[in-house]
Amino acid sequence: MTIDYHRVKQSCQNHMASLHVALSLASAVFFLAAALRAGRPALAVPILTIHLAPAHGTRAVSHHFLGVSIEYGTSLRTLMRRAHGRQAAFVHLMKYLGRYNGEPVIRIGGNSEDRSAWNLSQYPNHSKHLRFNITPADADRLAAIAKASGCKLILGLNLGTGTRHMARQWVRHALATIGIGHILAFEVGNEPDEYFRLGGKWRHEKFPLYLKDFNHMVTAIMPLVKSPKLIAGPAFCCGWLRNITLEFIQENHAKIGLVTIHYYPLGAPIKNPKSPHFASIPNLLKNANSQVYASLIAGSAKMGHRFGLPVRYAEINSAWGGGKRGVSNTFASALWCADTLFEIANAGGAGVNFHTGSIYGAFWPGSSDSKGLQPHPLYYGMLLFAKAVQNGGRLVPVKYPHTGNIKIWACLDHSHVMRIVVINKNLSGDIRIALPTTPLSHATVEYLTAPGVAATTEIQFGGITFDHTTDGMPQGHFEPHPLAISDKQWIVPVAHASAALITIKPE
């Protein structure tokens, strides 16, 4: 790879010059084991030439891009309790990600959101749907986490089964306990395109009814929040996601400060293995199940930009229904996670919150009474993305022939450091990357690996692992490996079901 860093620096300063980078992807053997078992000769991976041109238009990655989403009730109390060192571990995990792209955003909501109320005991005749009592202790936990980690919160309000009075009560106490400086927004309702499941007035799933109630709720809490910047919505997930989100933004852009949407590509309860939404490792690693996030957010992000509104995936994960063991909690989720984050950033999304509170989460206690928190494979995918986009990294357009299940992303940061992420999602078939050297730069590599794509432990990223820690701090240190030069090239092998972070620095 030949990089003229003098020209790169000029292009970053005046946004006019061009940088053309060529990467060669090659392999001596592709799907070797499979080919031998089939009794046929191994197929060589074709050479792929990759062009990156930052001067042709780079895309900034939003600060605080990463985040987690947590339900009210048991999940919140399990993850954020002081006992067993959970709260301290939570803070450490947030700050460890935050060192690269800014502190993550913590969203509190989900299905529990439209079944919750502040101090539920004050409503003796409440709806049968209300089952989650938001307590002063919950508010104290959120305040402690936000203040210790520097993270901002998105707090869900019950639109589906609550009342405006209930919403005002929670908003008032949240502002008093947590503080407006630690609250990014109040999200009004959770997935209203699924409210028909609540029955009653919602049984016909009518958008005008939702919009009327949404506006009433916003009007009710505006005297408390003072500014529409603290209002988020619509949190669509399903039937209204693609087209009605645009209508919502068009009609409500002056009433909100953040657009939120939700999506899951697979479904844990789906039993038919032929369904494209069946939760399996091969399905999760299909490019389509990362690219779908870009296609769903692109239109909303474009319209949001017109009105100065960021658009954020406030709830996503691999499979709805709590995730599927053997898929959502495996190393495959780390590879899917990293690729999906890049897809969303490249489409103009402002951030992502991974729903956490089950096997598919970024972390969870080892058992109900165990100490601290244990990061899951998904967390490593978040960390890979964070390291790649650090220091104000901007996504560089990449063009390359799409051969196999390989994804390549590149970022150029404020210091003119190029970081290239290669995600080899093939279940078999190693590759090598050959990069022509230049006297004006040096290169290193850090690998994200596991014993296999279905592994849940023994995951390594650049020399660190969270395998035997529960305090939110990893064992080991990042130790980038200098790339050896062979015939004026850096040779970078990337095994199947793994990822590599290549860093090229100007001297």
* Residues 35, 72 contacting (CB under 8 angstroms): no
Look over the chain and give the mean of its residue pLDDT values, rounded to a whole number.
89
* Domains in the chain, number: 2
My answer on whether 360 and 481 are in the same domain is: no
My answer on whether 47 and 72 are in the same domain is: no
Q: What is the pLDDT of residues 38-79, one digit of tens each?
A: 333 345 554 566 667 776 678 999 999 999 999 999 999 999
- pLDDT above 70 covers a percentage of the chain that reads 88
My answer on whether 26 and 70 are in the same domain is: no
Which has more confidence, 432 or 333?
333
Q: Does residue 26 register a pLDDT over 80? A: no
Q: How many residues does the chain have?
A: 507
At residue 116, the pLDDT reads 96
Q: What is the pLDDT of residues 113-160, one digit of tens each?
A: 999 999 998 888 777 889 999 999 999 999 999 999 999 999 999 999
My answer on whether 306 and 431 are in the same domain is: no
Where does a domain end: 338, 366, 388?
388
My answer on whether 91 and 168 are in the same domain is: yes
465 DSSP β-pair partners: 475
- Backbone torsions φ then ψ of 458, nearest 5 degrees: 60, 35
Q: Residue 327 gets which letter from DSSP?
A: T
* Residues 47, 404 contacting (CB under 8 angstroms): no
Torsion, CA 47, CA 49, CA 50, CA 52, rounded to 10: 160
My answer on whether 235 and 103 are in the same domain is: yes
My answer on whether 148 and 215 are in the same domain is: yes
At residue 5, the pLDDT reads 38
Q: Scanning the structure block, which residue is given the tokens 């891009």? A: 65
At residue 57, the pLDDT reads 73
At residue 56, the pLDDT reads 65
What CATH number did the domain enclosing 208 receive?
A: 3.20.20.80
Q: What is the pLDDT of residues 151-208, one digit of tens each?
A: 999 999 999 999 999 999 999 999 999 999 999 999 999 999 999 888 888 887 789 9
My answer on whether 54 and 66 are in the same domain is: no
Q: What is the pLDDT of residues 471-495, one digit of tens each?
A: 999 999 999 999 988 887 788 889 9
Q: Scanning the structure block, which residue is given the tokens 């995936």? A: 313
At residue 399, the pLDDT reads 75
DSSP string, 375-404: E-HHHHHHHHHHHHTTTT-EEPPEE----S
Where does a domain end: 388, 420, 453?
388
At residue 28, the pLDDT reads 36
- Least Cα distance to 20 among 489, 488, 423, 397 occurs for 397
- Least Cα distance to 421 among 33, 52, 47 occurs for 52
My answer on whether 75 and 224 are in the same domain is: yes
Give 377's contacts (C-beta < 8 A, 6+ positions apart).
329, 330, 331, 332, 333, 334, 450, 455, 456, 459
My answer on whether 344 and 403 are in the same domain is: no
Q: What is d(CA 190, CA 184) in angstroms, rounded to the nearest whole number?
A: 17
Q: Does residue 354 register a pLDDT over 70? A: yes
421 DSSP β-pair partners: 409, 501
DSSP string, 221-252: HHHHH-SGGGEEEEEE-STTTTTHHHHHHHHH
Q: Does residue 373 register a pLDDT over 90? A: yes
Mapping DSSP to helix (H, G, I), strand (E, B) and coil, where does residue 337 land?
Answer: helix
**Three-state SS across 400-463?**
CCCCCCEEEEEEECCCCCEEEEEEECCCCCCEEEEEECCCCEEEEEEEEECCCCCCCCCCEECC
My answer on whether 227 and 315 are in the same domain is: yes
By mean pLDDT, which of 12-16, 186-190, 258-262 is the weakest?
12-16
- Backbone torsions φ then ψ of 387, nearest 5 degrees: -65, -35
Helices (H), 27-163: 32-37, 74-80, 86-101, 136-149
Q: What is the pLDDT of residues 376-403, one digit of tens each?
A: 999 999 999 999 999 999 999 887 767 7
Where does a domain end: 388, 410, 442?
388
Mean pLDDT, rounded, for 249-260: 98
My answer on whether 324 and 249 are in the same domain is: yes
Amino acid, res. 460:
Q
Domain coverage including residue 155: 62-388
DSSP string, 159-203: -SS--HHHHHHHHHHHHHHT-GGGEEEEEE-S-GGGGGGG-GGGT
Mapping DSSP to helix (H, G, I), strand (E, B) and coil, where does residue 29 land?
Answer: strand
Q: Scanning the structure block, which residue is given the tokens 């997930």? A: 237
Which has more confidence, 262 or 4?
262
What CATH number did the domain enclosing 50 receive?
A: 2.60.40.1180
